């Protein structure tokens, strides 16, 4: 490749050498979009327009010989590229995003992941505007073209699919470090960002070095080039991208310091840096044969980053966060119009399949394989996978085959997880026999019909169950693998009726259906030695109360919160043996999403009201305890250690409960807002105030704006807390925010902060008058004209269409049709919305 970079007129010369892999007569069919073809040469001879066929999407050159060379020159305009795929401008720099199908917007090429090529890339550009010219691999030559222009040539020794190609040009600052691999090679590490922001990259750098060490220790995987670069950019459709040797990141996943980043920002940065780094082996060295295999690299890499985060932080808390993500995003996705197996059978637009199912559920499938094989055989399976497939483009079957070879376990029935969608429900019954002293659990799985198969074969999965006696003493733990529709697990030598701790750590991505007494749940909350299941018990206890409360509210007969429930929570708040982050999770009631999920007709209003009713009752009953904890935790020093994060987490949860105990506490929240020394405390207080619109809210919002208006990333938080507000005026405020200088509809982070968060604000998005639907539809129509990926992503907000009450359904339908009726709607948005109405 020979690329002359320019903001509006970039010239791309591609010289390809192609070898024919078939005896048959064949044409060369190259993908290419959004560019102007300037010339084509075949074996050095310029072709005339009659010699090839050019369409909006393809360049077809007939009669491929055994071996030919093609020289293709085209022109692209990075400034006009608002889709942010291919080569585009982000603020002052030029960068690229090619996964999955962006490379075809750069040049004409066979844009599919199983075409692995060796890339040599010469970048030429203006010296002042683009002092930095980066691509994959190692720089092999640099020099001046003339007094104003220079060039750098990069060579990537590893053949790669074009989706891993990257280019960056600009005038950026950087930080550098080195890493010595286990075998003693020294690797230069560089992180690039806007000048002046360099010092905010050190957390990302330290996360990178930890990831490199971890991958060597756990999997024996070393980095393979002499240089590893990360570039932070402002405008990016997703989180980040694993381009070989040159990762490109959404700046939100790089920049951090205590004043400006929250604890979750710190943790997300650690996880995303690790995720992209881990792709160097799982994704880059071994890649996907086609995009149906996306979970091959994504499910596996998410599993790897989850394990990394668990080793760096508190394992149980990580697992709880993953389970929450699964329940709040993946389960609803799978129950909605976009339901698909982790290895989809078909797609209109592959960009729409970078989903919670492919990523998060994909990781759950790998986790189950890990549970079934055990740690050692899993590691052996990974070794076999790389021995066999390094440098190749393979399938999920190939991965599973490596695991079979390593473990001797047959994954035949397990593989249904790859091809069947739907969240199984596992109904459980218990049977204690006092004479035989046996305890039996019978499990029955059912999965709702989904489009890809009418007849579901039973799934295979591990069931991990613990038993406690009624005093909380641990009795046993057992792992079975269930592969039939029904399964029985039997424990012997059980002297009295026990309490089961089911699907420990959610050993399979299923809905566990079992009725526990409140009493048993209280025992589990206190004594289960598995902290994830202490959390699960707390969630179930809350559900035992929330579900009847919702029904009561629907019938207009509100019920009181029983004393024993409040007592149990009181004990939990006081229990010093529970880690503070775990305590915060245990005391957070199940999300509104998880409350409406099982409903035939979703009723957000009642779910929100029921939750609020119970929260207020907990708050008023335990206000003195919450206050005590706030005092106790307010004095703690700041660090980003897990302990320190846990303290802030619990303190801020206590403050949020206090805000529900009465408006008299809003002054206290405001005091905490003003006293905050870090972004976690500051934004948490602001967000609490936004749920209680008051003069304190306005003062804090104003103050926050004055303080941070020049920092784009922080202003996204300011936008988000307002879009998420319970205030009656929220939609109006959102409309106002659109014209705030901090907002920019061309920037995906800002669209997510304003429109994405609003779409998740159930009370307002699902407003009875349909105003939320109409508003979002208008935004989607507009955004679709320049950034289809983001428009399609926002369109998934309509996923509850089929389950709405009739009046809302009619309103939502109108909104969806207004989008579908638009001429030239992208196939991204069209696919999502057509499936929504179907
Ligand atoms: N491979 C990237 C990651 O997992 C995500 C790229 C997504 N790109 C897209 N256009 N959907 O980090
Ligand atoms: Zn990934």
Does residue 256 register a pLDDT over 80?
A: yes
Is the CB of 354 within 6 Å of ligand 1?
Answer: yes
DSSP class per residue in 446-503? E---BTTBSSPPPP-EEEEEEEE-TT--EEEEEEEEE-SSEEEEEEE---S--EEE-S
Q: Are strands 486-492 and 499-501 parallel, antiparallel or unpaired?
A: unpaired
On whether the CB atoms of residues 179 and 186 are closer than 8 A, the answer is: yes
Instruction: Report the nearest-CA residue for atom 8 of ligand 1.
Output: 99
Q: Are 800 and 602 in contact (CB under 8 A)?
A: yes
Ligand 1 site, residue 350, Cβ cutoff 6 A? no
Residue whose entry in the numeric block shows the structure tokens 């402002």: 234
CA dihedral 732, 734, 738, 741 (to 10 degrees): 110
SS (H, E, C) 392-458: CEECHHHHHHHHHHHHCCCCCCCCHHHHCCCCCEEEEEEEEECCCCEEEEEEEEECCCECCECCCCC
Q: How many C-beta atoms lie closer than 10 Å to residue 159's C-beta?
A: 12
- The residue to which tokens 């059912």 are assigned: 446
Residue 25 has pLDDT above 90, yes or no: no
The answer to whether 602 touches 803, Cβ cutoff 8 Å, is yes
- Ligand found nearest the CA of 273: 1
Q: How far is the CA of 105 from the centre of ligand 1 (A)?
A: 17
Contact 313, 642 (CB under 8 A): yes
Q: Is 164 helix (H, G, I), strand (E, B) or coil?
A: helix
pLDDT confidence of residue 244:
98
Helix (H) or strand (E) holding 115: none
Whole-number Å distance, alpha carbon 294 to ligand 1 midpoint, is 10
Q: How far is CA 358 from the centre of its chain?
A: 10
C-alpha 411/C-alpha 624 separation (Å) is 54
Residue 70 has pLDDT above 90, yes or no: yes
Decide whether any atom of ligand 1 lies within 6 Å of the 96 Cβ. Answer: no
Which strand ranges, in their side-by-side order, compose the sheet holding 511-513?
486-492, 438-446, 425-433, 511-513
**Is the pLDDT confidence value at 534 over 80?**
yes
* Residue 607 pLDDT: 98
Burial of 483 (0-12, 13-18, 19+ CB in 10 A): middle
Q: Label the pairing between strands 227-233 and 246-250.
A: parallel
What's the average model confidence in pLDDT over 261-276?
98
CA distances, 321 to each of 217, 256, 317, 324, 535 (Å)? 25, 21, 6, 5, 11
To test ligand 1's pocket by mutation, which of 274, 350, 354 has the most ligand atoms within 8 angstroms of CB?
354
The finding on whether 351 has its CB within 6 A of some atom of ligand 1 is yes
Of 99, 276, 318, 404, which one is the catalytic site residue? 276
Beta carbon of 253 within 6 Å of any ligand 1 atom: no
3-state SS assignment for residue 191: strand
Ligand 1: nearest atom to the Cα of 359: 4
Q: Any residues with CB less than 8 A from the CB of 595 and at least 6 apart, and which?
A: 546, 547, 550, 607, 610, 611
How far is Cα 685 from Cα 676, in angstroms, rounded to an integer? 9
- Alpha carbon distance, N-terminus to C-terminus of the chain: 44
* pLDDT of 20 strictly over 80: yes
The residue whose CB lies within 8 Å of the most ligand 1 atoms, and thus the one to mutate among 164, 236, 241, 789, is: 241
Instruction: State the pLDDT at residue 282.
Output: 99
Q: What pLDDT is stored for residue 63 in this prediction?
A: 80
Structure tokens at 769: 């008058």
Average pLDDT over residues 719-748: 98
Q: What is the pLDDT of residue 200?
A: 98
Of 85, 98, 99, the residue with max ligand 1 atoms within 8 A of its CB, to mutate for a pocket test, comes to 99
Q: Which two tokens stand for residue 313?
A: 């932080």
pLDDT of residue 572: 98
* Ligand 1 site, residue 33, Cβ cutoff 6 A: no
Q: How confident is the model at residue 810 (pLDDT cuts 50, 70, 90)?
A: very high
- For 628-678, what is each residue's pLDDT tens digit? 999 999 988 999 999 999 999 999 999 999 999 999 999 999 999 999 999
Q: What spacing in Å lies between the alpha carbon of 280 and ligand 2's midpoint?
A: 10
99 Cβ closer than 6 Å to some ligand 1 atom: yes
Q: Is 266 in the pocket of ligand 1 (CB under 6 A)?
A: no
Reduce the DSSP state of residue 353 to 3 states and report it: helix
Average pLDDT score, the chain: 97
Residue 276: pLDDT band by 50, 70, 90 thresholds?
A: very high
Nearest to 587 by CA among 670, 678, 658: 658
Backbone angles phi, psi at 633, to 5 degrees: -95, -10
803-827: average pLDDT: 98
How many whole angstroms from 720 Cα to the centroid of ligand 2?
Answer: 25
CA 269–ligand 2 middle distance (angstroms)? 14
Assess whether pLDDT exceeds 90 at residue 737.
yes
- State if residue 238 touches ligand 1 by the CB under 6 angstroms criterion: yes
State yes or no: is 276 an active-site residue: yes
| pLDDT > 70 fraction of the chain, expressed in percent and rounded | 100
C-beta 242 within 6 A of ligand 1: yes
Is 152 within 8 Å of 116 (Cβ atoms)? Answer: no
- Phi and psi angles of residue 240, each rounded to the nearest 5 degrees, phi first: -170, 175
Could you say which ligand is closest to the alpha carbon of residue 300? 2
Q: Compute the distance from residue 237 Cα to the ligand 1 centre, in Å.
A: 9
Instruction: Give 825-830 contacts, CB < 8 A, sequence gap 24+.
Output: 825/784, 826/349, 826/784, 826/788, 826/791, 826/792, 827/348, 827/349, 827/788, 828/349, 828/351, 828/352, 828/784, 828/788, 828/789, 828/791, 828/792, 829/780, 829/784, 829/788, 829/791, 829/792, 829/795, 830/348
Q: Which ligand is nearest to the CA of 296?
A: 2
Which tokens is 401 given?
């085959």
Separation of CA 11 and ligand 1 centre (Å): 26
The b-or-e profile of 345-368 (16+ CB within 10 A means b, else e) is eeeebbbbbbbbbbbbbbbbbbbb
Dihedral sign of CA atoms 732, 737, 739, 743 in order: negative
| pLDDT at residue 450 in the model | 83
- Average pLDDT of span 15-38: 93
Q: Global pTM? A: 0.98
Contacts of 725 (CB under 8 A, 6+ apart): 690, 691, 693, 733, 761
pLDDT at 181 over 80: yes
Residue nearest ligand 1's atom 1 by CA: 241
582 CA distance to ligand 2 middle (Å): 28
Check if 241 has its Cβ closer than 6 Å to any atom of ligand 1.
Answer: yes
Q: Encode pLDDT of 616-640 as tens digits.
A: 999 999 999 999 999 999 988 999 9
Q: Which of 668, 528, 525 is nearest to 583 (CA)?
A: 525
What's the length of the chain? 838
Question: Where residue 26 falls among pLDDT bands split at 50, 70, 90?
Answer: confident
Among 307, 281, 428, 423, which Cα is nearest to 357's?
Answer: 423
Looking from the CA of residue 298, the nearest atom of ligand 1 is 4
Q: Which of 17-31, 594-608, 714-728, 776-790 has the lowest mean pLDDT?
A: 17-31
- Share of residues in the chain with pLDDT > 90 (%): 97
Is 790 in contact with 797 (CB distance < 8 Å)?
no
What is the spatial distance between Cα 103 and Cα 59, in angstroms, rounded to a whole number?
A: 14
User: What is the 8-class DSSP label of residue 638?
Assistant: P
Q: Which ligand 1 atom minimizes the distance to the CA of 85?
A: 10
298 C-beta closer than 6 A to ligand 1? yes
In contact, 690 and 729? CB cutoff 8 Å: no
């Amino acid at each position: 490749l020979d690329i002359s970079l320019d903001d509006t007129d970039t010239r791309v010369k591609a010289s390809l050498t192609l070898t024919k892999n078939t005896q048959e007569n064949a044409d060369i069919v190259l993908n290419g979009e959004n560019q102007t073809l300037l010339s084509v040469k075949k074996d050095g001879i310029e072709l005339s327009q009659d010699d090839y066929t050019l369409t909006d999407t393809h360049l077809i050159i007939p009669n491929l010989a055994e071996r030919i060379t093609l020289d293709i020159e085209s022109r692209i305009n990075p400034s006009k590229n608002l889709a942010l795929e291919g080569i585009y401008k982000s603020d002052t720099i030029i960068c690229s995003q090619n996964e999955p199908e962006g490379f075809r917007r750069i040049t004409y090429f066979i844009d599919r992941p199983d075409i692995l090529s060796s890339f040599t890339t010469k970048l030429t550009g203006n010296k002042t505007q683009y002092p930095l010219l980066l691509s994959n691999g190692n720089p092999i030559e640099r020099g001046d073209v003339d007094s104003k222009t220079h060039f750098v040539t990069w060579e990537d020794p590893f053949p790669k699919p074009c989706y891993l190609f990257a280019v960056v040009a600009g005038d950026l600052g950087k930080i550098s470090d080195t890493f010595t691999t286990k075998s003693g090679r020294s690797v230069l590490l560089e992180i690039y960002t806007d000048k002046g922001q360099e010092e905010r990259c050190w957390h990302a750098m330290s996360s990178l070095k930890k990831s490199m060490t971890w991958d060597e220790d756990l999997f024996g995987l070393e980095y393979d080039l002499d240089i590893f670069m990360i570039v932070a950019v402002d405008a990016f459709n997703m989180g980040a991208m694993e381009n070989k040797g040159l990762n490109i990141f959404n700046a939100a996943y790089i920049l951090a310091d205590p004043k400006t980043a929250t604890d979750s920002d710190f943790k997300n940065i650690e996880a995303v840096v690790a995720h992209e780094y881990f792709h160097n082996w799982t994704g880059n060295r071994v890649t996907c044969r086609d995009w149906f295999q996306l979970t091959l690299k994504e499910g596996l890499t998410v599993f790897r980053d989850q394990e990394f985060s668990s080793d760096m932080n508190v394992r149980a808390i990580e697992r709880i966060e993953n389970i929450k993500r699964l329940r709040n995003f993946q389960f609803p996705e799978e129950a909605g119009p976009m339901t698909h197996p982790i290895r989809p059978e078909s797609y209109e637009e592959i960009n729409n399949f970078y989903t919670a199912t492919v990523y998060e559920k994909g990781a759950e499938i790998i986790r189950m394989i890990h549970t079934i094989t055990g740690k050692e055989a899993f590691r052996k399976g990974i070794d076999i996978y790389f021995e066999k497939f390094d440098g190749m483009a393979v399938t999920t079957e190939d991965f599973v085959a490596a695991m079979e070879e390593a473990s001797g376990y047959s994954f035949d029935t397990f593989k249904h997880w790859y091809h069947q969608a739907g969240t199984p429900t596992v109904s459980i019954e218990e049977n204690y026999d006092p004479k035989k002293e046996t305890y039996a659990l019978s499990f029955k799985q059912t999965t709702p019909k989904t489009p890809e198969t009418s007849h579901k074969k039973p799934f295979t999965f591990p069931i991990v169950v613990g038993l406690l006696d009624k005093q909380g003493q641990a009795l046993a733990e057992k792992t079975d693998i269930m592969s039939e529709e029904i399964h029985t697990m039997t424990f012997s030598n059980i002297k009295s009726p026990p309490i089961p701790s089911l699907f420990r750590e959610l050993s399979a991505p299923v809905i566990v259906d079992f009725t526990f007494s409140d009493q048993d749940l209280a025992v589990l909350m206190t004594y289960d030695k598995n902290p994830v299941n202490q959390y699960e018990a707390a969630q179930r206890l809350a559900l035992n109360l929330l579900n009847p409360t919702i029904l009561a509210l629907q019938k207009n007969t509100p019920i009181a919160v029983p004393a024993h429930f409040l007592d149990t929570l009181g004990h939990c708040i006081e229990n010093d043996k529970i880690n503070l982050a775990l305590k915060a999770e245990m005391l957070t009631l199940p999300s509104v999403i998880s409350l409406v999920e099982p409903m035939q007709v979703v009723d957000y209003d009642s779910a929100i009201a029921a939750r609020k009713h119970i929260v207020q009752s907990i708050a008023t009953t335990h206000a003195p305890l919450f206050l005590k904890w706030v005092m106790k935790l307010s004095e703690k020093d700041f660090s980003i250690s897990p302990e320190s994060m846990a303290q802030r987490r619990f303190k801020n949860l206590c403050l949020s409960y206090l805000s529900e105990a009465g408006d008299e506490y809003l002054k206290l929240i405001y005091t905490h807002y003003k006293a905050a020394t870090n972004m976690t405390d500051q934004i948490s207080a602001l967000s609490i105030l936004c749920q209680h619109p008051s003069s304190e809210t306005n003062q804090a919002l104003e103050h926050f704006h004055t303080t941070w208006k020049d920092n784009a990333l922080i202003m996204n938080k300011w936008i988000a807390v307002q879009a998420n507000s319970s205030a009656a005026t929220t939609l109006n405020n959102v409309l106002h925010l659109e014209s705030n200088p901090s907002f920019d509809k061309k920037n995906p982070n800002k669209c997510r902060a304003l429109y994405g968060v609003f779409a998740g604000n159930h009370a307002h998005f699902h407003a009875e008058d349909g105003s939320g639907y109409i508003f979002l539809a208008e935004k989607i129509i507009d955004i679709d004209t320049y950034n289809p990926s983001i428009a399609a992503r926002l369109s998934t907000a309509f996923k509850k269409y089929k389950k709405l009450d009739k009046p809302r359904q009619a309103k939502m339908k109108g909104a969806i049709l207004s989008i579908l009726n638009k001429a030239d709607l992208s196939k991204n948005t069209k696919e999502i919305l057509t499936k929504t109405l179907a």
